Structures are given as structure tokens and as C-alpha cells.
């Protein structure tokens, strides 16, 4: 519960300030925990942010593994998670809280392998790499657009739209 309170407080603070100007004292005040409790779990605001990113990346990796045979369900699960954590996800993709986040996402083995497995039947290894990068980064941008809409389609519809786009590219 303490970690959740700290994560919520950091999300709240990142709306108004960048990660470099987050004060541990203010973060603890907003989370209603004392500083020694903060330092029990984290060494800095950057460690807390990394833990929050890890939550998202772990969820996505597990969704890919759990629903490997059902790409619509993978995307749908990811969209549902992002919608539940909308404020943080919007911050991470829009405000350059961590400009390296997309690289962290796409360097995950599960993400890379899932994208490449889809196109491994192609004979040209460079083509597989280019195509999987194109689809992965394109899907990321579609998700970004979706997350920034105030009147978003349901996760299931977004997943189906992405699958249609990906299948259209295969033709």
C-alpha cells in the first residue's frame, strides 16, 4: 500500500514538474509517508519511476506470454491496463518523463520475439527486422493517439483496429 501511495504521489507531481525537480520531501508529504519509509523502498525518485515503468513492462510481457495465441487479447489486455493507469501512461508517453521508455519497451525480449515471430516466415532476415520494427513502432504510435483521446474507443475496439492495420500491412 505504501508503494502504491508513493506511485500515486509521483504521478501527481509529474503533471506539474519534471522528474529532475521532484523533491523527496514533497513526494513523501503528498504520499503521507515519512522519508525513512520512502528510503526503505527506493533510493531516489528515479528508482520509484523505474519501478513504475517496470510494472507496466512486466504486465505487457506477461500479457504477451499468457495470450501468445491470441494477438487481439494481448493488445486488449495492454489497452485495459493502460486505461486503468491512464494518468501515468499519458505522462510517460507525452511528457518525456523518460525519453528512453519506448526503447525499454521495444527491447524487451517478449515484445521483440512476438513481433519477429509473426513475420519469421519471410525469407529476408533484414526484411523481418524492418517489418517487425515498423509494425511495433506503428502500433505504439496508434496506442499513443488512442490514450490521448478524451473520448476513447473501448480497449477491445482499439485492439481490433490495430490487428486490422497489422494484417493490412501483411498483404
Residue 171 has pLDDT above 50, yes or no: no
Q: What percent of the chain has pLDDT over 70?
A: 89
Q: Return the minimum-mean-pLDDT range out of 21-25, 32-36, 130-134, 142-146.
A: 130-134
Residue 7 pLDDT grade (very low, low, confident, very high; cuts 50, 70, 90): very high
User: Residue 54 — φ and ψ, nearest 5°?
Assistant: -60, -40
Is 129 in contact with 116 (CB distance < 8 Å)? yes
Q: What percent of the chain has pLDDT over 90?
A: 40
Pairwise CA distance, residues 149 & 145, whole Å? 7
Whether residue 21 is contained in a domain is answered as no
Q: What is the mean pLDDT of residues 15-41?
A: 93
Whether residue 4 is contained in a domain is answered as no
Whether residue 112 is contained in a domain is answered as yes
- The residue range of the domain holding 54 is 50-170
Whether residue 43 is contained in a domain is answered as no
Q: Which residue has the higher pLDDT, 95 or 23?
A: 23
Residue 169 has pLDDT above 60, yes or no: no
Whether residue 2 is contained in a domain is answered as no
* Count of structural domains, the chain: 1
Is 22 in contact with 15 (CB distance < 8 Å)? no
Q: What is the mean pLDDT of residues 69-86?
A: 88
Q: What is the mean pLDDT of residues 21-43?
A: 95
Alpha helices in the chain (DSSP H): 2-14, 24-31, 35-41, 45-66, 71-84, 86-94, 101-106, 109-118, 125-148, 155-170
Q: Which three cell numbers stand for residue 8?
A: 500515486
Whether residue 54 is contained in a domain is answered as yes
Pairwise CA distance, residues 125 & 141, whole Å? 24
Q: What is the mean pLDDT of residues 64-68?
A: 85
The residue among 141, 117, 116, 139 whose CA lies nearest residue 129 is 116
Q: What is the mean pLDDT of residues 73-79?
A: 88
The residue among 162, 146, 138 whose CA lies nearest residue 75 is 162
The residue among 97, 3, 99 whose CA lies nearest residue 51 is 3
Whether residue 102 is contained in a domain is answered as yes
Whether residue 139 is contained in a domain is answered as yes
Q: What is the DSSP string of 48-61?
A: HHHHHHHHHHHHHH
Q: What is the mean pLDDT of residues 80-103?
A: 85
Q: Return the minimum-mean-pLDDT range out of 47-51, 100-104, 149-153.
A: 100-104
Amino acid at each position: 500500500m505504501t508503494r502504491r501511495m508513493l506511485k500515486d504521489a509521483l504521478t501527481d507531481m509529474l503533471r506539474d514538474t519534471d522528474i529532475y525537480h521532484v523533491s523527496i520531501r514533497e513526494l513523501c508529504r503528498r504520499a503521507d509517508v515519512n522519508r525513512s519509509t520512502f528510503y526503505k523502498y527506493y533510493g531516489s525518485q528515479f528508482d520509484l519511476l523505474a519501478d513504475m515503468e517496470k510494472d507496466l513492462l512486466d504486465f505487457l510481457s506477461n500479457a504477451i506470454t499468457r495470450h501468445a495465441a491470441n494477438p487481439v487479447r494481448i493488445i486488449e489486455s495492454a489497452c485495459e491496463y493502460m486505461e486503468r493507469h491512464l494518468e501515468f501512461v499519458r505522462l510517460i508517453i507525452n511528457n518525456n518523463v523518460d525519453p528512453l521508455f519506448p526503447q525499454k519497451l521495444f527491447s524487451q525480449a517478449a515484445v521483440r520475439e512476438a513481433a519477429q515471430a509473426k513475420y519469421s516466415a519471410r525469407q529476408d532476415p533484414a526484411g523481418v527486422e524492418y517489418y517487425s520494427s515498423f509494425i511495433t513502432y506503428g502500433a505504439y504510435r496508434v496506442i499513443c493517439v488512442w490514450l490521448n483521446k478524451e473520448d476513447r474507443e473501448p480497449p477491445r475496439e482499439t485492439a481490433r483496429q490495430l490487428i486490422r492495420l497489422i494484417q493490412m500491412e501483411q498483404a
